[in-house]
């Protein structure tokens, strides 16, 4: 692995091994960056802290095909998605909304919910009818009544969307992934009773904001350019970029996984094919060093993904002898005293 751009080897601190949880599949809301996380375990919604430990539980009425979309930190409000409806579990009552197959839901802080969902269409091909997903919609829902206050068509089809809320200003960035066909991203703002949606960039992955909300990290889409980018917020001016070519890889690059872990530092998954590592960078995407995840699991291992989970914390999923293993790691706090 070429490492001319970042020669240091830095020991990350093992916080704990994660048991009984697949972070890349079970954490809600879906996303790469640091934020509140929840999990649906049967009929119980669990609120997790930055170390992915359960800090609160709430039993809810959820049938087998329910999917958890979001919740409030106190679990006073829980949003469940079904094929044919959205159910908001409030304190003492449940609110049903006529939105099926929702893939993202974000609280706006004023008793409303921004929801994304595809339009279900019936398609006939050679005499056979089947269901298909059409354009994606963004909807503004009033949580007091379940009324849909406003709707905007995104103009992307056959997409899966996840949402990245800004930590302070109420705006939401949507990432609409379309597999090998690329992606589209949008900025959503609520203005009174209206949704204002503007395009952001195409064929990138939206990671998330730094804690201050002044910068947004975009990582490479697996099918397109090998460049991570930091944008100034809200101007969207590019302030930093880092490409795999700058890291002197022989046959690799920067992966889609990466996150701000503080206002000053970013972790990126990068490396040669089937030999990825965790690269610590400054907020300007200047490489600081490779984080060593020691003690490494016994057996032959391969890094699968990293997700930001808390201040200075990330969870790494590793394949070890054909099985998944996850652990939460802490980035060393004093970069000036790191072991080289």
pLDDT in tens, 57-100: 999 998 888 999 999 999 999 999 999 999 999 998 999 999 99
Q: Which of 305, 335, 338, 339 is nearest to 327 (CA)?
A: 305
What are the pLDDT digits (tens) for 324-337? 899 999 999 765 44
What are the pLDDT digits (tens) for 220-272? 999 998 999 999 999 999 999 999 889 888 778 999 999 999 999 999 999 98
285: CB partners within 8 A, 6+ apart: 228, 229, 230, 240, 241, 242, 266
Residue given tokens 């996850």 in the structure block = 326
pLDDT for position 109: 87
Per the DSSP assignment, residues forming a β-bridge with 254 are: 270
What are the pLDDT digits (tens) for 127-159? 655 455 679 999 999 999 999 999 999 999 889
Contact between 249 and 271 under an 8 Å Cβ cutoff? The reply is yes
What are the pLDDT digits (tens) for 41-51? 999 999 999 99
Count helices and strands in the chain by DSSP H and E runs: 1, 28
Q: Model-level pTM greater than 0.85?
A: yes
What are the pLDDT digits (tens) for 282-328? 999 999 999 999 866 566 778 999 999 999 999 999 988 788 899 99
Q: Which residues of 134-156 are buried (b: 16+ CB within 10 A; e: fewer)?
A: eebbbbbbbbeeeeebbebebeb
Q: How much of the chain is in helix, strand and coil states, percent to nearest 5?
A: 5, 60, 35
């Amino acid at each position: 692995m070429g490492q001319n751009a970042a020669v240091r080897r830095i020991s990350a601190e093992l916080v704990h091994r994660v048991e009984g949880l697949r972070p890349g599949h079970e954490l809600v809301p879906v996303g790469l960056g640091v934020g509140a996380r929840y999990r649906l375990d049967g009929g119980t919604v669990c609120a997790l802290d930055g170390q992915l430990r359960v800090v609160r539980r709430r039993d809810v009425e959820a049938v087998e095909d329910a999917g958890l979309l979001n919740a409030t930190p106190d679990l006073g409000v829980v949003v469940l998605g079904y094929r044919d409806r959205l159910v908001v579990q409030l304190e003492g009552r449940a609110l049903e909304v006529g939105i099926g197959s929702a893939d993202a839901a974000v609280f706006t802080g004023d008793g409303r919910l921004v929801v994304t969902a595809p339009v279900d269409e019936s398609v006939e091909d050679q005499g056979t009818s089947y269901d298909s997903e059409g354009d994606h919609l963004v909807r503004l829902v009033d949580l007091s009544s379940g009324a849909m206050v406003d709707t905007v068509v995104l103009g992307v089809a056959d997409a899966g969307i996840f949402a990245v809320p800004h930590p302070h200003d109420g705006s939401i960035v949507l990432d609409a992934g379309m597999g090998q066909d690329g992606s589209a991203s949008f900025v959503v703002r609520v203005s009174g009773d209206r949704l204002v949606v503007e395009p952001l960039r195409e064929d990138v992955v939206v990671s998330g904001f730094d804690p201050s909300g002044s910068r947004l990290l975009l990582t490479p889409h697996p099918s397109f350019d090998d460049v991570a980018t930091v944008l100034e917020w809200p101007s969207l001016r590019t302030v930093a970029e880092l490409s795999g070519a700058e890291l002197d890889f022989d046959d690799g690059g920067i992966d889609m996984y990466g996150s701000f872990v503080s206002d000053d530092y970013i972790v990126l998954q990068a490396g040669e094919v089937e030999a990825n590592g965790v690269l610590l960078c400054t907020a300007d995407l200047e490489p600081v060093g490779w984080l060593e995840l020691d003690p490494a699991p016994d057996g032959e291992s391969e890094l699968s993904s990293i997700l930001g989970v808390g201040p200075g914390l990330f969870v790494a999923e590793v394949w070890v002898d054909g099985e998944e293993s996850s652990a939460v790691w802490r980035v060393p706090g004093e970069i000036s005293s790191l072991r080289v």
